[in-house]
Structure 1
Amino acid sequence: MTELATPHSATSDSPAFEHIRLERSGQVYTLTMARAKRRNSLSEEHMREILAAMNHVATTDARILVIAADGPVFSSGHDFADMIDRDLVSMRELLQLCTEMMTRMHSLPQVVIAKVQGLATAAGCQMVASADLAVAAESAGFALPGAKGGWFCHTPSVGVSRTIGRKRLMELALTGEPVDASTAQAWGLINYAVPDDELDAKVADLVDRLCQGSAANKAVGKQTIYNHLDRPESEAYLLAIEVMAGASQTDHAREGMSSFVEKRAPIWPR
């Protein structure tokens, strides 16, 4: 793993980074991509830092991870300057690293929110699609631009295909043209498109709603959803039955049921 450099900013319990900031406030970590001059493009070092930050957050008792960015671009995708001289083996390893970074969002016990303030293209669009939830400013845009050049957005299309329908994916991937935030919301790529000056408030509101209930219960629920999404319905039900039956025996489930029956506020076990 790439050695981590002096931080831009970090809380006392966070590792130090060069290309990102990782800051904690209460139950929320914010991971901010800080390569604005490079349009927050995803070089190998940048991706390794993002992955390391997520691995750190996973070890904490925080409930939310917000992924944000500095500058007018959320992320322009892969850093071509870091890719152009790679051979086949090295390129495959880089794309595997990117895939590991994207799918790590799914296995985190925390809820991951993409906070999109600007353009998100290629792997940047994939990052938005891979987050559990996404909120974007109305001025943001989303694109899979590979079809306009010489290198198709193959891996970004995998992540985006899990959030929007086939015809929408084909339009994004085959035209390479961007869609605005309102369209992205209508297509299901993001949850909310809000006026630019309301982005922070909308994310804060979503965080407040997500922090209700048992954190342990929500972590199991999130991971089970990802495990059953692409299974046939019968297999999905078998998985969900086993997980739900097992979870019913936990202290969190018993407290949730008891507090409901007794009409009192729950006291969640640690």
Structure 2
Amino acid sequence: MSERIKEEMLDEDAVVLTISNKIATIQLNNPAARNALSTGVMASIQEILDRLHDSKDAHVVILEAVGPVFCSGHNLKEIVGIDREAAMLALFEQCSNMMQSIVNLPKPVIAKVNGMATAAGTQLVASCDLAFASSTSKFATPGVNLGLFCSTPMVALSRNVSPKHAMEMLLGGEFADAEQAARIGLINHAVAEEDLDRTVQDFATRIASKSPLTVRTGKAAFYNQLTMPLDDAYAYTSRVMSENMQTLDAQEGINAFLEKRDPKWRGE
């Protein structure tokens, strides 16, 4: 399955969706514009996420980009042309909704970064469930250098790394290389550029082979329990596990393990 989401402001192929073997790939495909998040690009990504939400064709999503810049963040030329506060607020709300849609998507989203990610581009990486980057990739929240603090990127960043590491990036406005990004938890692993495709594809294939119901349940529970007090988190996850245990997939998985065979998932 392959389809293209048109982007009016830039190029008709600015965002491309492909689905194969239960793996959906969202590709930012406008390197000339540094894969910036214009309102049109964000609308295209949002449309794709909405389509994938209940799709049975995809169990896992890869987010990648063409060119040396994974994503440069918001389109600054578009931003400086907005002269009304209400319109500016609408733009940032659109971006915030898109980022939350990634977190709330009932399928894991893997960022595959091969290049620079800045400002809302770093926010995009931090919003994904997993992130792998080539060793030459770099990450920054440089808004402070322009007099515009990266406040909305800060939300996703501060939920990935420790407060002091987040503040170092936000206040310093300098690039963190892939090794540092992995060390502070912004990405999972930094790998050689020639190994990036295989690394991400292998992990995505592994996820796609699991019960989609179990993965969906687990992702939602993970984010829900993060902000709960310890006792509430245990009470909540105990209920989740109890309900999960009643599903056909859990029963199939346990039986398959005991019978030393591969499980046959039904998604129920």
What is the TM-score with the length of structure 1 in the denominator?
0.92
Q: Which residue number corresponds to residue 115 of structure 2?
A: 118
Q: Are 2:30 and 1:35 equivalent residues in the alignment?
A: yes
Q: CA deviation at 1:231?
A: 1.6
1:163 alignment partner, SS class: coil
Q: CA deviation at 1:133?
A: 0.4
Q: CA deviation at 1:250?
A: 1.1
Q: 1:159 aligns with which of 145, 150, 156?
A: 156
Task: State the one-letter code of the partner of 2:37.
Answer: L
Q: Which residue number corresponds to residue 202 of structure 1?
A: 199
Task: Find the aligned partners of 1:39 and 1:262 in 2 and give their Cα distance.
Answer: 52
Q: Output aligned runs, 1:140-219, within 5 Å.
A: 140-219=137-216
Q: Which residue number corresponds to residue 16 of structure 1?
A: 5
Q: Deviations over 1:78-129 (max 9, x none)?
A: 1111111321111111111101111111111221000101000000000000
1:189 alignment partner, SS class: coil
Q: Are 2:73 and 1:77 equivalent residues in the alignment?
A: yes
Give the conservation status (yes or no) of the 8 Å contact 1:15–1:53: no
- Please tell me the root mean square deviation across aligned C-alpha atoms, in Å: 1.3
Task: State the one-letter code of the partner of 1:108.
Answer: L
Task: Find the aligned partners of 2:43 and 2:198 in 1 and give their Cα distance.
Answer: 30
Where do 5+ consecutive residues of structure 1 fail to align?
A: 1-9
Q: Deviations over 1:44-101 (max 9, x none)?
A: 0110000101111223221111111111100010111111132111111111110111
Task: Find the aligned partners of 1:223 and 1:15 in 2 and give their Cα distance.
Answer: 29
Give the conservation status (yes or no) of the 8 Å contact 2:132–2:190: yes
Task: Find the aligned partners of 1:32 and 1:189 in 2 and give their Cα distance.
Answer: 20
Query: Runs of 4+ in structure 1 displaced over 6 angstroms?
Result: none
Task: Find the aligned partners of 2:261 and 2:199 in 1 and give their Cα distance.
Answer: 29
Q: 2:54 aligns with which of 59, 65, 73?
A: 59
Moved more, 218-227 or 102-111: 102-111
Task: Find the aligned partners of 2:54 and 2:243 in 1 and give their Cα distance.
Answer: 23
Q: CA deviation at 1:208?
A: 2.5
Identical amino acids, percent of aligned pairs: 38
Task: Find the aligned partners of 1:151 and 1:101 in 2 and give their Cα distance.
Answer: 21
Q: Output aligned runs, 1:103-142, within 5 Å.
A: 103-142=100-139
Task: State the one-letter code of the partner of 1:64.
Answer: V
Give the conservation status (yes or no) of the 8 Å contact 2:34–2:71: yes
Residues paired across the two proteins, number: 259
Q: Which residue number corresponds to residue 64 of structure 2?
A: 68
Task: Find the aligned partners of 1:188 and 1:139 in 2 and give their Cα distance.
Answer: 17
Q: CA deviation at 1:15?
A: 5.6
Task: Find the aligned partners of 1:240 and 1:139 in 2 and give their Cα distance.
Answer: 39
Q: Deviations over 1:239-258 (max 9, x none)?
A: 11111111211111111222
Task: Find the aligned partners of 2:44 and 2:218 in 1 and give their Cα distance.
Answer: 27
Q: CA deviation at 1:191?
A: 0.6
